[in-house]
Structure 1
Amino acid sequence: MANPFSLPFQFNNQSISEWLGHFKSAGVIVTGQEINGVLTVLNREHAKIEVPLLQLVLMRLTPVVLYLAEFLQKTIITKPQQAKTAQMSCHILQCMAFLHGYLAKQVTDNSQKVLHANYALQITGIAFQHYAISYERPPGELWEGMSKCYQLALHANLLDVPVEKPLPGLQVVATIALALKRNLLFCLASPYRFKQQKIQQLFAFCTQHSKLVTFVQPGSSMEYVFCWDYQASDSFQPVYAKPEQLPEKFVLFHAYDLLQAEQAAQSPDIDGQQLTSYFNYYDELLAGSKFSLSKPYVFVSGFVQIFEFFERHVRDYGISTANPPPSPKNLNFSDLDLTTDKASKKQGMNKVASSEIWEVSQDDTENIKLKFGAIKLVSTAQPLFFVAEAMQLKLAVGDVFVGYDIALKPKLGLVHCVDIKLNGKIQKSVVEICIGKVSVLSQSSSIINHQALLLENEAGKELFLADGKYALGAILKYDEKDLRLEKVVSMSPKYIRYVVTVCQ
């Protein structure tokens, strides 16, 4: 077939081989740029190319991309200032994963469906690794592609069918199910908290131990079950602890065999205790909290409630005594009745608000009732982590909340697990209390006021965002200051957390 797409080769083996031969003496970056250009064209024009011809090209390029990805990964680590290299590497893998996923749907032979779906998922996993090493949020398209491959394999009963003669480097997780499990395990382990070399080791660990992950049915009584919401491709983190209310489309799984075998603790490269805490709901912290006096707090949960709480009650990093919320002085957990702030009309601003210009109803922006809960925090062996007993309001894994004690200084908290074994009035969970001053940033001049939480301490500044898609290096303009996004620290279903610097 002639080449109508300005590709540097014709759709035949000889032409592709001649083109690939030019890279023997080329550098990694130049080779990456050429491969990236070709994959960009194929990604754009894939529907116009006959399936056998696209297969031919893709099967020739896949081993080259896998080989190239290893060298680009080293460049990302050794030369972190070259942000474009990281972007190129991630884009190459994303394009390759998409094209294999597309072919998995187009081919009719089941063995070819298995091959392309498996390769799509394996390359997606490698892309997740590259995004983590770059401390960048992976795009929703990768999660969407995973979802399509899973559904295709599920409906065709191909999840556990192995790939025939997989490529070197793709042999360990050679079924669709194993590739999925590796990806889910890696994302669940929150790789962004590690340094780059540890992220590499974590990915290798998840690859080797993917067979110890088990898919389970909704009615299972197994503890420590996790959920992948495969419709939530735009979520910051669609993999999380099993919630009380399951999403519409989900996969449940557990890593109990991994815990039982204590494989993580035996790994020479990964801190087993730190890793397995993500797979057992921080059970060792829940069971082994220190004997100490608990600290009572009042709290509000969720971005909307936090923003409203700061608007009404917080001035200069402290809670205003002129307009105090419920007091934590005499919290009685046996007979608790915290008041709820009624919605009140906000004071007028000195300048015209964008809501007035665009005729947004005031009722829509002001009718927010503050709901307060009570919480007791007990110290654990892990600094900044506490076992929390909450009443009035329920917390969910991934929630962000703000609490305050009698010192009337707001503190930012993150929910890492909820004890699913407890049913009753008191909810038990493991939370992290962040050190530093927390404040709300606003964009009052924008049509939509995308507020955010800023945490400031001696280590630097971190920004918590509830929505939006941003690239590293992006500058977010707020009324208070302009901030540059430097790297992702962590993600949950409810927020994404960035290290930021102030733009001068």
Structure 2
Amino acid sequence: MYAANLASQNCRAANRQAKLNLEIFRHSSVGRFMPTQTSLPFPLESESATTWLQSLSSLPPANAANRLNQAWKTLSTSPLSGDNPLATMIGMTPPTLHLAQGLAVFARAEWPANAKSCKAAKLAIQLFRHASLAFARLASGLSDDAERGRVAMFYALQLAGFCLRTGARFYEAPSASLWKKSAQLYVLAEKQRWLNQAISVKVADFKNAGTLDAVFKRNLLFTLCAPNRYSETEIDQLFQFAGQTQHLLQFNRHDVGDFDFYWELTDSEPKPRRHPKWPLPKDSLAISTQRLGRALQQGEISVDMAVATRNRLAQHLLGYDQIFSSLTIGPAQPARLLTGFAAVSGYLQGEDRLSKIMRLSEQNHGSRATLHNMTLMPLEHEKSFFNQSPKSNGAGHLDSFEVRLLRSTSKQFLVAESTTGSFGNGDIALLYREQLAAKLVIIRQQTLFEDASLLLLEPIPGKIEPYAIDNPLGRQQCALLIDAESASAEIILPPGKYGTQTDIALAHFKSVTLLACVEHNPWFNRFKIRVGS
């Protein structure tokens, strides 16, 4: 039987088969998606499902994956019937793993050369996502059946983890709906006391964890490692690392005051702690990575990754404490910090507009000296903006804060001290000093020192250009282009939902295509891009 044969394959055979299928995927109709089904193509009984799965073996892999994806999508949204839907869904899992992993191998080999490889990647992610949501839906309805409920939840979480890894490999933003469903499952597992009960399954890919707690922690740790900022090889290493070391994560449902990350169980993915003084949000899980970070930093954990990657990861998990402790004695440099995507983009747009007016005036009058005798007359709503330059002690109606830049041995980060203002970890900001060009930075971490906050700022190098986004609905939004003319061009977008291979139309500029999500958080979205010809 198709499902039985796939279930019995070991990892080496599966990898060999995936390579053999590359040419089949290359010439199959991965781009022609099946029409959406509103009902299952088989009765929800094990024997009927087995017969249907056998029929898939005669199809090209991409076509089989399309049909399987539609079946999972139906299972994730439609009422479930039959004597034992769990057994049917478990039987569907091995071919799902096989086909999704084969699609991912094909897509990566061709990435991002053509549309077919991009569609293959998205289909692989959808397979894992819909299968996970189907099991999650089933688990939620089995709260009175502890044994089957735990197994259904275990499959849901394992498939969610595979979805997270595959999405990161292709630099997609994580699925908010999948994380929200995972949060609901955590609340249920905690209530039913299922978290630490042993679970045994036959799927070889799922045997690396024996409890729900282990799979929850693996998925959380992998996401907390910010995998989209790493290479594909490093992403696989991070997933393996998360599976091996998840037991070192420390959870707490109470506000213990000292935690590094948190997971709002009514929201989506886990996040860095936003501010050292801000309390744990209601209905959240506090997560400490200190024990894990120290073990990694001190070499107590054997990990398959380069030394530079290991050090970078340990630094992140420990809250960059080594950089804060590397401050040296010396005079601080006064500066100002303007925070928030709207404020930063608004200021850059104003500067860009002013620069263009000055260039036009210079051309018209043919002499730079003429500019000294000119008075620029902004529009009424712009007066408060232009009245004060951010290089002075104020930035008009834009809310900037006084900071002092401290001396540090770090070449990658800056450290600023602030006694005013309230900043969020992960937020974007503009750092400016007298007579120097403003720097675009990301607030990576904060720590408290006496009555001040120390801010770890990561500068974003490159030429920054603001452009209005062409929006058919008339919404006024701005995008920030970074080194638009280079091969490493990036774009920073306002908060929202964006997918790779999406085209963004910019006013008075070429359209850009989103290639890879580098960073996704409540403050902004950052993508590598291809600029249209």
TM-score after normalising by structure 1 = 0.82
Question: What displacement does 1:104 show?
Answer: 0.7
Residue number in structure 2 paired with 1:325: 388
For residues 77-476 of structure 1, the aligned pairs below 5 Å read 77-81=108-112, 82-107=117-142, 108-165=144-201, 167-222=203-258, 224-233=259-268, 238-241=270-273, 243=275, 244-262=278-296, 266-270=302-306, 271-289=309-327, 294-315=332-353, 323=386, 325=388, 338-339=393-394, 341=396, 369-378=397-406, 380-419=408-447, 421-424=448-451, 426-443=452-469, 446-456=473-483, 458=486, 460-476=488-504
Provide the rounded CA distance (Å) in 1 between the counterparts of 2:409 and 2:207.
40
TM-score after normalising by structure 2 = 0.78
Residue number in structure 2 paired with 1:361: none
Name the stretch that deviates more: 179-188 or 12-21: 12-21
SS of the equivalent of 1:375 reads strand
Once the two structures are superposed, residues 36-70 of structure 1 have per-residue CA deviations (whole angstroms, 9 ceiling, x without a partner) of 232233334x21x3163432321111222233333
Once the two structures are superposed, residues 95-125 of structure 1 have per-residue CA deviations (whole angstroms, 9 ceiling, x without a partner) of 1111111111112211211111122112111
Provide the rounded CA distance (Å) in 2 between the counterparts of 1:316 and 1:434.
23
Provide the rounded CA distance (Å) in 2 between the counterparts of 1:382 and 1:78.
37
SS of the equivalent of 1:232 reads coil
Name the stretch that deviates more: 306-315 or 103-112: 306-315
Provide the rounded CA distance (Å) in 2 between the counterparts of 1:339 and 1:10.
69
The question of whether the paired residues in 2 share the 8 Å contact of 1:299 and 1:401 is answered with yes
Provide the rounded CA distance (Å) in 2 between the counterparts of 1:293 and 1:273.
30
Going from structure 1 to structure 2, the CA distance change for 1:164 and 1:19 (only over 3 Å counts) comes to same
The question of whether the paired residues in 1 share the 8 Å contact of 2:482 and 2:490 is answered with yes
Provide the rounded CA distance (Å) in 2 between the counterparts of 1:444 and 1:59.
46
Provide the rounded CA distance (Å) in 2 between the counterparts of 1:7 and 1:492.
36
Number of matched pairs: 458
Residue number in structure 2 paired with 1:16: 49
Which of 95, 110, 116 is 1:64 aligned to?
95
SS of the equivalent of 1:277 reads helix
**1:501 and 2:530 aligned:** yes
Matching residue's letter, 1:18:
T
Question: What displacement does 1:377 show?
Answer: 3.2
Going from structure 1 to structure 2, the CA distance change for 1:39 and 1:317 (only over 3 Å counts) comes to farther
Going from structure 1 to structure 2, the CA distance change for 1:168 and 1:444 (only over 3 Å counts) comes to closer
SS of the equivalent of 1:38 reads helix
Provide the rounded CA distance (Å) in 2 between the counterparts of 1:303 and 1:221.
28
Going from structure 1 to structure 2, the CA distance change for 1:191 and 1:102 (only over 3 Å counts) comes to same
Hey, which of these two has a bigger chunk of helix by percent?
A: 2
What are the ranges of 5 or more consecutive residues in structure 1 without an aligned counterpart? 330-337, 342-368
The question of whether the paired residues in 1 share the 8 Å contact of 2:496 and 2:525 is answered with no
Going from structure 1 to structure 2, the CA distance change for 1:460 and 1:190 (only over 3 Å counts) comes to same
Going from structure 1 to structure 2, the CA distance change for 1:279 and 1:52 (only over 3 Å counts) comes to farther
Going from structure 1 to structure 2, the CA distance change for 1:468 and 1:225 (only over 3 Å counts) comes to closer
The question of whether the paired residues in 1 share the 8 Å contact of 2:73 and 2:134 is answered with no
Provide the rounded CA distance (Å) in 1 between the counterparts of 2:110 and 2:329.
47
Question: What displacement does 1:292 show?
Answer: 6.6
Matching residue's letter, 1:21:
Q
Question: What displacement does 1:315 show?
Answer: 4.4
SS of the equivalent of 1:209 reads helix
Going from structure 1 to structure 2, the CA distance change for 1:76 and 1:294 (only over 3 Å counts) comes to farther
SS of the equivalent of 1:278 reads helix
SS of the equivalent of 1:460 reads coil
SS of the equivalent of 2:504 reads strand
Residue number in structure 1 paired with 2:70: 37
The question of whether the paired residues in 2 share the 8 Å contact of 1:411 and 1:437 is answered with no
Which of 60, 74, 83 is 1:52 aligned to?
83
Provide the rounded CA distance (Å) in 2 between the counterparts of 1:31 and 1:444.
39
Once the two structures are superposed, residues 311-332 of structure 1 have per-residue CA deviations (whole angstroms, 9 ceiling, x without a partner) of 5455467999974635658xxx
Question: What displacement does 1:232 show?
Answer: 2.6
Question: What displacement does 1:253 show?
Answer: 1.2
Once the two structures are superposed, residues 283-310 of structure 1 have per-residue CA deviations (whole angstroms, 9 ceiling, x without a partner) of 1111124667654322210022223323
Name the stretch that deviates more: 115-124 or 311-320: 311-320
